[in-house]
Amino acid sequence: MKSLCVITLFMVPLYLQAQKRTISGSVKSRNSGEHLIGASIYSIGTTQGTTANNYGFYSLTLPRDTVHLRVSYVGYEPLTLKFLLTRDTTINLELNDGTQLKEVEITATAEDPIQESTRMGTIDVPIEQIKAMPALLGETDVLKVLQLLPGVQSGAEGSSGLYVRGGGPDQNLLLLDGVPVYNASHLFGFISVFNADAINHVELVKGGFPARYGGRLSSVIDISMKEGNTKTLKGEGSFGLVASRLTVEGPIKKDRTSFIVSARRTYIDLLSRPMVKALSKGDVTTGYFFYDLNTKINHRINDRNRIYLSTYLGDDKAYSRFKDSYDNQAQNGKEHVSYEDEFSLRWGNITTALRWNKIFTNKLFSNVTATYSRYRFAVSAKSENKTTDASGTTTEFFKDEYTSGIRDYALKWDMDYIPNPSHYIKFGVQGIEHLFTPGVYSYHDTEKKDTTFGARKIFAEEFYGYVEDDFLITDKLKVNAGLHASGFYVQNKFYHSLQPRFSARYLLTPDVSLKASYAQMTQYIHLLTNAGLGLPTDLWVPATPRVRPERSYISSAGLAYNLNKTYEVSLEGYYKKMKGLIEYKDGASYLNIESDWQTKVETGSGESYGAELFLQKKTGKVSGWVGYTLSWTNRTFANLNNGKTFPYKYDRRHDVEVALTYSWKENKDLALTWVYGTGTAVSLPKSSYAQNVSDVPAERTFYDAGGSIDYYESRNNYRMRAYHRLDLSYTTKKKTNWGERAWSIAIYNVYSRKNPFFMDIGYDKHGQKKFIQYSLFPLIPSVAYRFKF
């Protein structure tokens, strides 16, 4: 009898599992064939459901019975299916674009509400919402929209830099189709490299990191490119004040192979060239331009195998060339002198991803990706003088160049395993070969001297493996737990790290949940950058035997509330401790090429803590969000500020963001953004002394300021004025016989607030010293013309 009971207990779970069947497939747009990342699929009348992964794949195991499925995605018409489930079934789902609805208002159901998810600090921003926001100079910018989210700050007025929860720009992992992008700035930081017309999905992770992400301390911005329309040839583009862009996508073979090509270029150099020549003496050519190009090919081999090849190319170049000549009377007769000077500043990225998706079973999905990423910065100057006289021609020549960069080759394998609706398991591995070029200076001259010196190239290998499970313990308690293990080998030194990740939600009521998370992160690469706005002299350097990796320990807890199935509200508190941070020593910069970079940096720690309130509405005539952040961010370096803790430059006590769009008619949209932030911390002298004063405290730092010595009491000891700004845009659309056209009029800084860009010491009309605030952007109107065909 005992044996029979044991056998019965063992057989019951197997019998129950045998009574279940699995539905799997993909979720796409019916109009374009584009996969809908994160689409919700759930069984009506039950608590069982799932979401499509980053490649549109889903798997849902349900009891053998009549199934009532509902499929939804923001901006698309929900789909309802009812059928008898008797065997494992593959169903490829297609949703209609929500613009086909007769009503102007687009509605969506709340099958995957905020309180259900285990993840914290993760925000998806719909692409159409990004495009609708007011843009500086009319150029839509993904990163500037992310700056409007709580916990995220911009580095300076108008820049596209991101400072997330007290971290620096190097602590953000920017992924484009899974490939790291090391410099995301065009136009000296005012525009990002991400072309919104080529993007399908944007996700920001700033806390509660799942185990599949690693290598950075503060955030992950995961951006997926469009796959290309598999149904018909489509295109869109725009003409703006500083740049124009064009995107074309369509099938190479309908429903099997598709492509997308998206290009953008500024024409500042073309517009300014005639004016520069008219105002200059001699032959002068000067200008600046940037371009980027996104391409992707998507091929479905069969229902279980698909391959992708995507590439991004982008470059910025500022240049000047000056030519002139004259005749001169010399001792040996008349001579003719001609000279030519050139200057060039250039930086840019290349990324490539070759991806293979395979569905092994209806519960197991595989993604294998080979990637290449390269960032390069170069500044050069060249001069050539020719003198011709009766004896012939002599030439004097020199050229110098400074270059830096980073290059990666990587191979990764990610697996999704969904045994049942209560478990969603992810695991994978990745290997990366880094090549760092921290800064090399070369010099050539008339005597054919070829001198090259600076930091030598460094090879390093980085690898990681991870496993995570998002599982339901009870109807109220859901947990995401995982482990990220990584290693880094450089200059015969091996670093390794085990990073536990945990997040959970507990449903207090059907609409309110309590959430908590903990994550350890390790970063093996550092970014050396000059403070303030300037050249994009980003020097990517590795952890070495002398400079250790960066580490962070992040805890957060909060509440999530779904209000009337329309508004999502979250309140989240966090604490982050960072170790191994580096900064240039006082007076050091990338130009100090006579010494190794490791001798020019200081190592310290940091902490950031605060609370964030976020209210978001994704659908309806009025959509958008309101965010508020209360935070503190500090740094401590043993050899800076006399070892005392000081506020980080971007420590901001209060931060408010409002981003709203209003569509009162099908073809008319009004959008506004308003931001407010506590002033940036700056170092300003407290007093000034004559140079012969002998009783000034010796431990303080002094700076010579034209005949006097300025006394700085501490680092970042003052605050600039508060920053606030209102932007507006109005867009009107019209259907045409060839597609759609739209005019967008935007105003940046509507009430022309003189926001501080930086402060310096100056003099008033009486010759007395005073602090002077410099501002950058007043009210700036812009207009853009957009079209689709």
Rounded CA Rg of the chain: 29
Q: Give the CA count within 13 Å in the CB-facing half-sphere of 512.
A: 5
Going through 131-218 in order, the beta strands assigned E by DSSP cover: 152-153, 163-164, 172-176, 179-180, 185-186, 191-192, 199-205
Q: How far apart are the first and last CA of the chain?
A: 75
pLDDT confidence of residue 691: 59
pLDDT confidence of residue 656: 95
Rounded Cα–Cα distance for residues 352 and 294 (Å): 10
Phi, psi at residue 641, to the nearest 5°? 55, 35
pLDDT confidence of residue 587: 63
Rounded Cα–Cα distance for residues 552 and 740 (Å): 48
Tokens representing 293 are 């190009």
Place of tokens 């919104």: 196
Rounded Cα–Cα distance for residues 741 and 12 (Å): 62
User: What is the DSSP-derived secondary structure letter of residue 678?
Assistant: P
For residues 53 and 425, the answer to whether their CB atoms sit within 8 Å is no
pLDDT confidence of residue 453: 63
Q: Give the CA count within 13 Å in the CB-facing half-sphere of 518.
A: 5
Phi, psi at residue 354, to the nearest 5°? -115, 115
Question: Reduced to 3 states, what is the DSSP secondary structure of residue 213?
Answer: coil
The continuous run of DSSP H or E covering 450 comes out as: strand 450-454
Rounded Cα–Cα distance for residues 308 and 301 (Å): 11
Q: What is the 3-state secondary structure (H, E, C) of 322-378?
A: EEEEEEEEECCEEEEEEEEEEEEEEEEEEEEEEEEEEEEECCEEEEEEEEEEEEEEE
Q: Domain segments of the chain: what residues? A: 19-100, 122-680+720-788
User: What is the DSSP-derived secondary structure letter of residue 35?
Assistant: B
Angle at 385 between CA 384 and CA 391, to 5 degrees: 135
**Among 306, 422, 417, 414, CA closest to 363:** 417
Pairing verdict, β 646-647 and 172-176:
unpaired
Rounded Cα–Cα distance for residues 652 and 679 (Å): 7
**pLDDT < 50 stretches in the chain:** 4, 6-17, 100-111, 531-535, 696, 698-706
Show Cβ contacts of residue 436 under 8 Å, excluding neighbours closer than 6 positions.
406, 457, 458, 459, 460, 525, 540, 541, 542
CATH, domain range 122-680+720-788 = 2.40.170.20
Rounded Cα–Cα distance for residues 776 and 147 (Å): 18
Q: CA dist 202 to 179, 221, 263, 293, Å? A: 14, 7, 19, 19
Rounded Cα–Cα distance for residues 593 and 629 (Å): 41
CA dihedral 148, 149, 155, 159 (to 10 degrees): -40
Question: Reduced to 3 states, what is the DSSP secondary structure of residue 626?
Answer: strand
Q: Residue 667 region, left (φ>0) first, then alpha (ψ -120 to 50), else beta?
A: alpha
Is pTM beyond 0.75? Reply is yes
CA dihedral 86, 92, 95, 96 (to 10 degrees): -120
Place of tokens 């012969």: 692
122-680+720-788 has the same fold as 19-100: no
**Among 778, 715, 728, CA closest to 586:** 715
**Among 544, 527, 540, CA closest to 489:** 544
CA dihedral 504, 507, 508, 509 (to 10 degrees): 160
Backbone CA torsion sign across 146, 130, 178, 185: negative
Q: Give the CA count within 13 Å in the CB-facing half-sphere of 773.
A: 16
Rounded Cα–Cα distance for residues 46 and 588 (Å): 63
Show Cβ contacts of residue 142 under 8 Å, excluding neighbours closer than 6 positions.
130, 192, 194, 196, 199, 202, 223
Q: Domain 19-100 class?
A: mainly beta
Backbone CA torsion sign across 116, 119, 122, 125: negative
Angle at 604 between CA 440 and CA 649, to 5 degrees: 85
Show Cβ contacts of residue 676 under 8 Å, excluding neighbours closer than 6 positions.
654, 655, 656, 722, 723, 724
Length of the chain: 789
Q: Give the CA count within 13 Å in the CB-facing half-sphere of 70.
A: 15
